[in-house]
Structure 1
Amino acid sequence: MSLADSVLAVNNDLPIRTDKPVHSGKVRSVYWLTEADSARLIAERGYDVPADTPLAIMVISDRISAFDCIFHGEEGLQGIPGKGAALNAISNHWFQLFKDNGLADSHILEIPHPFVWIVQKARPLKVEAIIRSYITGSMWRAYAKGEREFCGITLPEGLQKDQKLPELLITPSTKGILTGIPGVPEQDDVNISRADLEANWQAFGFEKPADIDLYEKLLKEGFGVISKALADIDQVFVDTKFEFGYVTDRNGNSKLIYMDEVGTPDSSRIWDGAAYREGKIVENSKEGFRQFLLNFFPEPEIMLDKNRMPEREALARDTALPLSAMMDVSKTYTGVAEKVTGRKVELSANPKAEIIEILKNQYGLVD
Structure 2
Amino acid sequence: MVEAIKKTDFTFPGQVGVYQGKVRDNYYFEDKIVMVASDRISAFDVVLPRAIPFKGQVLNQIAAKFLNATKDIVPNWLLETPDPNVAVGLKCEPYAVEMVIRGYLAGHAWREYRDGKRQVCGVALPDGLKENDKLPEPIITPTTKAAEGHDMDITREEIISQGIVSESEYIQLETYTKALFNRGTEIAASQGLILVDTKYEFGKHDGEIYLIDEVHTPDSSRYFYKEGYSDRQEKGETQKQLSKEFVRKWLIENGFQGKDGQNVPEMTDEIVVNISERYIELYEKVTGESFQKQDYSDALGRIERNVLEKL
Structure 1-normalised TM-score? 0.77
- Which runs of no fewer than 5 residues in structure 1 stay unpaired? 36-53, 73-77, 178-186, 249-253
Q: Which amino acid aligns with 1:324?
A: E
Q: 2:157 matched to 1:204?
A: no
SS state of the match for residue 347, structure 1?
coil
Tell me the CA shift for residue 305 of structure 1. Answer: 5.8
Match of 2:156 among 183, 190, 194: 194
Tell me the CA shift for residue 330 of structure 1. Answer: 1.5
For 1:284-333, what per-residue CA distance to the aligned partner results, in whole angstroms no more than 9, with x for missing partners? 111111112223x2xx1xx226232xx42xx36xx3x2222222222221
Q: 2:226 matched to 1:273?
A: yes
Tell me the CA shift for residue 93 of structure 1. Answer: 1.2
Q: Work out which structure has the larger RCO, using CA pairs closer than 8 Å and 6 or more positions apart in sequence.
A: 1
Q: Matched residues in 2 for 1:305 and 1:90: separation?
A: 27
Contact 2:107 2:245 (8 Å CA) reproduced? no
Contact 1:85 1:345 (8 Å CA) reproduced? no
CA distance 1:272–1:325, change in 2 (3 Å): farther
Q: Which amino acid aligns with 1:234?
A: G
Q: Matched residues in 1 for 2:47 and 2:158: separation?
A: 33
Q: Matched residues in 1 for 2:198 and 2:108: separation?
A: 13
Match of 1:235 among 185, 189, 193: 193
Rg: which structure is higher? Answer: 1
Deviates more, 1:273-282 or 1:219-228: 273-282
Tell me the CA shift for residue 168 of structure 1. Answer: 0.6
Match of 1:97 among 69, 77, 86: 69
SS state of the match for residue 211, structure 2?
strand
SS state of the match for residue 277, structure 2?
helix
For 1:123-175, what per-residue CA distance to the aligned partner results, in whole angstroms no more than 9, with x for missing partners? 11111111101112222222223211222222111111210000111111111
Q: Matched residues in 2 for 1:225 and 1:171: separation?
A: 19
Match of 2:51 among 50, 66, 79: 79
For 1:219-271, what per-residue CA distance to the aligned partner results, in whole angstroms no more than 9, with x for missing partners? 011011111111111111111111011112xxxxx211111111111111112
Contact 2:15 2:27 (8 Å CA) reproduced? no
SS state of the match for residue 10, structure 2?
coil
Q: Which amino acid aligns with 1:3?
A: V
Q: Which amino acid aligns with 2:83?
A: H
Residue of structure 2 equivalent to 1:255: 208
Contact 1:171 1:191 (8 Å CA) reproduced? yes
Q: Matched residues in 2 for 1:143 and 1:19: separation?
A: 46
Tell me the CA shift for residue 21 of structure 1. Answer: 4.3
Structure 2-normalised TM-score? 0.90
Q: 2:2 matched to 1:3?
A: yes
For 1:45-82, what per-residue CA distance to the aligned partner results, in whole angstroms no more than 9, with x for missing partners? xxxxxxxxx2121111011122233334xxxxx42121
Tell me the CA shift for residue 205 of structure 1. Answer: 4.0
Q: Which amino acid aligns with 1:196?
A: E
What value does the CA root-mean-square deviation take over the aligned residues? Answer: 2.1
Match of 2:35 among 58, 66, 87: 58
Match of 2:137 among 127, 143, 167: 167
Q: Matched residues in 2 for 1:258 and 1:342: separation?
A: 24
Q: Matched residues in 2 for 1:342 and 1:305: separation?
A: 34
Q: Which amino acid aligns with 2:121?
A: C
Match of 1:125 among 95, 99, 108: 95
Contact 1:82 1:345 (8 Å CA) reproduced? no
Q: Matched residues in 1 for 2:288 and 2:127: separation?
A: 41
Residue of structure 2 equivalent to 1:353: 301
SS state of the match for residue 219, structure 1?
helix
Residue of structure 2 equivalent to 1:67: 44
Match of 1:332 among 249, 257, 278: 278
SS state of the match for residue 56, structure 2?
helix
Could you list the runs of 4 or more consecutive aligned residues of structure 1 that deviate by over 3 angstroms after TM superposition?
A: 18-21
Match of 2:268 among 322, 339, 356: 322
Q: Matched residues in 2 for 1:19 and 1:189: separation?
A: 29
Q: Matched residues in 1 for 2:106 and 2:24: separation?
A: 28
Q: Matched residues in 2 for 1:157 and 1:322: separation?
A: 41
Match of 2:172 among 214, 234, 237: 214
Q: Matched residues in 1 for 2:81 and 2:226: separation?
A: 31
- Which runs of no fewer than 5 residues in structure 2 stay unpaired? 233-237
Q: Which amino acid aligns with 2:137?
A: E
- Percent pairwise identity: 32
Pairing 1:302-317 to 2, within 5 Å after superposition: 303-304=256-257, 306-308=259-261, 311-312=262-263, 315=264
SS state of the match for residue 93, structure 1?
helix
SS state of the match for residue 59, structure 2?
helix
Residue of structure 2 equivalent to 1:246: 204
